[in-house]
Each structure stands twice: as structure tokens, then as C-alpha cells.
Amino acid sequence: MQLHISPSLRHVTVLPGKGVREYIKVKVGSRRVSCRMLIYSLLFFTFLLRFVFVLTAVDTIDGESKCSTLGCLGKKLGPRLLGSRLEPKVPDVMYQILDKTMSKDELQGRLDNIPQTLEDFMAEIKEIKPDAKTFALKLREMVSLMEQRTRTAKIQEYLYRHVASSSIPKQLHCLALRLANEHSTNAAARLQLPSAELVPALVDNSYYHFVLATDNVLAASVVAKSLVHNALRPQKVVLHIITDRKTYFPMQAWFSLHSLSPAIIEVKALHHFDWFTKGKVPVLEAMEKDQKVRSQFRGGSSAIVANETEKPNIIASKLQALSPKYNSVMNHIRIHLPELFPSLKKVVFLDDDIVIQTDLSPLWDIDMNGKVNGAVETCRGEDKFVMSKRLKNYLNFSHPLIAEAFDPNECAWAYGMNIFDLEAWRKTNISLTYHHWLEQNLKSDLSLWQLGTLPPGLIAFHGHVHIIDQFWHMLGLGYQENTSFADAETAGVIHFNGRAKPWLEIAFPQLRPLWTKYISFSDKFIKSCHIRAS
């Protein structure tokens, strides 16, 4: 081949080496582009793009860590030429491996070879550079081990919380003992509550009547003080405190020595009520049967925790069902309010784990529209964790008795701060319905519901509930640590429902000051029992 370049550099001639006169002449300086040259250029670039696409796709199709020559070339050149990057897909073999669960026995046999941390896992992967299948196997082992340990830790936490919430703190036990001793030695601790001239107010319906049933002196003191402190007309407030026989003297001693005048405080034990001493009391009979059934059906906390098939939240629910609170007469007694207070027309019932932060007298102005129970519903609200409770959260709808009678998606409501129209209540069969369903649950080995007085209450008051504004009752401060102090501070009544009661060390520290602000830590009884703010 011969190459001739003209002196002006405007022509280049290529001659075949065999002397053939055919040649190619290129005009270097020409500004014209022929149609043939344009077509050739388009064909060339089309071929180049398709070639790059094939090179890039080869490695993705292979799906392996090692790529072919063409695949590697495409992987290197493709993104540079195209100006973009094609993300590889997860190989199907990884889905197949990760879909299979590992049993506890399988994990036990491989504990020595399973990475304990993500750092260990990544170091091992970088060292051995496994294929997709081996990578998925090692990832499944590590995740399964972490899940098992997390489950064990959660269950252990629930068990500790159950023990902490079920036992009486030594400080509260100390307070009750010191007050009982004070009652026996100090005449001022044995004053009649209320004084003789104020007794008529106990049945006067022009007053605002509140009922508190508890055997916790410290909790009762906070409820009473917060109620009176925030009342606009404390002289119109009557608080009826119902307690049991063992707590009566300490409770009377406390409120005798810590006057909340001008409010009127009554302290009575259950055995002081005439109705409670006459004949059989259905709720007491049901509680005795319930204790026997639970002792046989539950098998105790150790049996609940030993179950390896149930989810941690189910185990937590069963542990909570063992709490003495849920089988306490103080918890069930509210269903007998019309009999306990035959002269009263309307009362507000208060739990002992609440704090009142506003004047509650406007509750008497609410038109109940003939309903019996004024309550806050618990299926609507900004807090989706606390305010998401429907009947299906409390009742077992797999049981035909429940499924036939109720709608699982019907909104639930809250116990803890309830307005009860006792006149309307006496015209219904609510109390009989309550006891009927308690019996049905006992006959069904506690399979209709598992814990508390709320499930039978939801049934008994079904169709008799008037929904009130959520301002009057903020829930979840005993099991929802995400509740902010600022939000809780703006509610009319806050409720520490859940295990983390404010008088326990497991209380959420950011919320506890809302409760402790109503305790005088300089009081001699509080100081002597080492009850502190934190």
C-alpha cells in the first residue's frame, strides 16, 4: 500500500500495494459532508451503542461475583460511555435462602461460626469473598441469631417489669406501717372523716362527687391533692375514698393529718358499706373463681416465659394478666357504684394512677343524652400507638360468643376517668350483664379475654357510652415513653395506665415530675420512708 500526500496537504491518496489503480481520495480540508458519510456514521454509532449495551448486560445476567471477559469489559466501559449506572439485581438464590427460617437447634450447632456483630460479618465477607448463596447463608445465620437474642431480651424485660409492677415497693409498705402506727398512738390521726357537720354533703347532689377506689395511700394522696388544688370551687368538691380493711387505718390517718379543706374527704372501707355486707356479692364470688382458674390455667410467670412459640407481645399480655391489680376488688368495685351510693345521681370515678391538672366541674355540665358512661374513646388520636384500640384489641373474636355479639372494629373507650349517670344506670341491666360475662369467661377457661376489668366493662356498657373530648383523659403514660412532657402537661387528666406506675422505679423519668409535683417530700412520713422525687 502506498500513501501520497499533496504539498498543500489538501489531498491524501491511498494506492493498493499490488499496483491496482483503484484508490481512495480524501479531501481533508473540505467543509462538505456527503450523504454517504452521514449514513455510515449513523450505522457506526448504532452498532457501538448496541455493543456497549450487550457488554453491560452480560454481567447482570450471570449474577455471580466473577464476571466473564465481556461482562467485565461492559461493566467497566458501559457506565462511562453511557453516562449512567445500571444497578445489579439481587440474585434469586438469595431470596430462596433468606425465605427459610432457622430453628433454635440449628443455630446452637453453629454458634462458634456465626459472626456476633456486623463488623465481624463484614470482615469475614471481605476475606472469603463468597458467592451469592454463601453470602445469603451467612447473613441468615447472623440475623436469626440476633432475632433470637432480641426475643429473649424482650421477654426478660417483660418479666422484670411484671415483677416490679406486681410487688409493693418497700417505701409504700413503710408508709402504710408508719401511718397505721400513727393511727393507734395519735388521736389526731383518728378524726372522723368528714366531720359531723359535713356529713350531709355526702348525699347532697348539689356537690361535685368523685369516687376513688384504692389501697395505695401515696397514690390516693396525689389524686386527692391534684383534684382539690386545681378545682375552682374546692368547697363544692366531695371525694369518696373506698379502700380495703387492711389499708383503712393508714388511709384515715393520712387524710386526718393532711387536711384538704375546704374540700370534703370521706374514707370508708368496703366492710363499712351496708350493701356489701348483705348476702352474696357477685363480684367477690367471681374474683374467687377467677383466682382458682388463673392458678390452673396460667401456670405462673415461669410457664408463660418458657413458651418459645408465642410472640413477645403476647407473652407480655399474659404476664400482665397475672398482675394482682387486675384481680383486685378495688378494680372491680366500680361496677357496683349505684348500690354503693344509692342517694347520688352522678359521680366521676377516678383511678389511683391519674393526675388531675384542671378544674373538673365542667364534667357535670356535659349532656349525656341518656347514656350512663361518659368516657374518652381510644381509637382516634394523634398518638397512633396509644389511641388505636378497638374491641378486637381486648376481646377474643375467634370465640363464637364474642364474634356473634360484637363488631371487632368498633372503637373502645377508656376506664380511669369516667362520668357515671347513676340515675340512668339504675334503669339498665349493666351490672347483671357484667357478671354474666364474667361467668362466661370463667366457664371458657378465660378464653373470651385475658386481663383486667375493661373487657367486661366494654361488654356491659355496650350501647350506654357517651363519648367526651380527649382533653379530659390522656392515656398511656405508663407504657408509652414517647409521650412528651409538653403534650401531657396540656391535658386535663393524665393517666399512668400500664406497668410503669409513677410510684415505681420503672416509671418514665421524663413524665414522673407531673406526678411527684403533688407530693411534699419534706413531710415527716415521706422523709422517714425515703420516698424521693427520682
**Is residue 32, in this structure, part of any structural domain at all?**
no
- What is the C-alpha end-to-end distance of the chain, expressed in Å? 99
- Of 123, 138, 163, the residue that ends a domain is 163
Q: pLDDT by residue for the chain (534 residues), tens digit each? A: 555 555 554 554 555 555 444 444 444 444 555 666 767 676 767 766 665 555 555 445 444 445 555 555 555 555 555 555 556 677 777 777 777 777 776 776 677 678 878 888 888 888 888 888 888 888 888 888 888 788 788 877 777 777 776 677 899 999 999 999 999 999 999 999 999 999 999 999 999 999 999 999 999 999 999 999 999 999 999 999 999 999 999 999 999 999 999 999 999 998 888 776 666 666 666 666 666 655 554 556 766 777 777 777 777 767 766 666 666 777 888 999 999 999 999 999 999 999 999 999 999 999 999 999 999 999 987 777 788 899 999 999 999 999 999 999 999 999 999 999 999 999 999 999 998 998 888 888 778 987 778 899 999 999 999 999 999 999 999 887 788 899 999 999 999 988 889 999 889 999 999 999 999 999 999 999 999 987
Residue pointed to by grid coordinates 356498657: 461
Domain boundary among 106, 131, 163: 163
Written as one letter, the residue type at 169 is P
511-517: long-range contacts, CB 8 A cutoff, minimum separation 24: 511/477, 511/481, 511/483, 511/485, 513/485, 514/355, 514/357, 514/477, 514/485, 514/488, 514/489, 515/222, 515/355
Residues 150 and 213 in one domain: no
Burial environment of residue 356 by CB neighbours within 10 A (0 to 12, 13 to 18, 19 or more): buried
Q: Where are the alpha helices (DSSP H) in 191-299?
A: 217-229, 245-257, 274-277, 282-297
- DSSP codes joined into one string, 427-443: TS-HHHHHHHHHHHHHH
Q: How far is CA 196 from CA 192, 202, 346, in A?
A: 8, 11, 23
Residue 375 exposed, middle or buried by CB count within 10 Å (0-12, 13-18, 19+)? buried
Spatial separation of the C-alpha atoms in residues 257 and 154, rounded to whole Å: 44
Whether residue 361 sits in one domain with residue 212: yes
Which of 138, 163, 188 is at the close of a domain?
Answer: 163
Quick one: which of 214, 210, 211, 213 has its CA closest to 172?
Answer: 214
Residues 99 and 246 in one domain: no
In a domain, 87, yes or no: no
Q: What is the DSSP string of 106-170?
A: HHHTTGGGS-SSHHHHHHHHHHH---HHHHHHHHHHHHHHHHHHHHHHHHHHHHHHHHHHHSPPH
- Same-domain pairing of 175 and 284: yes
Answer yes or no: do 251 and 347 share one domain. yes
Q: Establish if 495 belongs to a structural domain.
A: yes
**Do 422 and 343 reside in the same domain of the chain?**
yes
Q: Is there a single domain that holds both residue 114 and residue 211?
A: no
Beta bridge partners of 411: 390
Cα gap 527→525, rounded to integer Å: 5
d(C-alpha 118, C-alpha 127), whole Å: 14
In this structure, what CATH number is given to the domain that contains residue 486?
Answer: 3.90.550.10
How far apart are alpha carbons 55 and 67 in whole angstroms? 11
Decide if 150 is inside a domain: yes
223 shares its domain with 134? no
Regarding whether 223 and 116 lie in a shared domain, the answer is no
Cell of 348: 366521676
Answer yes or no: is 31 within a domain: no
Cα-based angle 297, 298, 299 (whole degrees, multiple of 5)? 105
Structural domain that includes position 225:
169-527
Q: Rounded to an integer, what distance in angstroms lies between the CA atom of residue 244 and that of residue 242?
A: 7
Q: Same domain, yes or no, for 355 and 484?
A: yes
Task: Provide the domain count of the chain.
Answer: 2
Contact 116, 274 (CB under 8 A): no
Q: Residue 266 has what pLDDT?
A: 97
The Cα–Cα gap between 97 and 140 comes to 8
Identify whether residues 399 and 436 lie together within a single domain: yes
Model pLDDT, residue 178: 97
The verdict on 227 and 346 lying in the same domain is: yes
Q: What residue spans of 322-444 are helical by DSSP H?
A: 329-332, 337-340, 400-405, 422-425, 430-443
pLDDT in the model for residue 186: 96
Predicted local confidence at residue 488, as pLDDT: 93
Nearest to residue 453, comparing CAs of 354, 339, 330, 341? Answer: 330
SS3 state of residue 510: coil
- The answer as to whether 36 is a domain residue is no
481 belongs to a structural domain: yes
Structural domain contains residue 42:
no
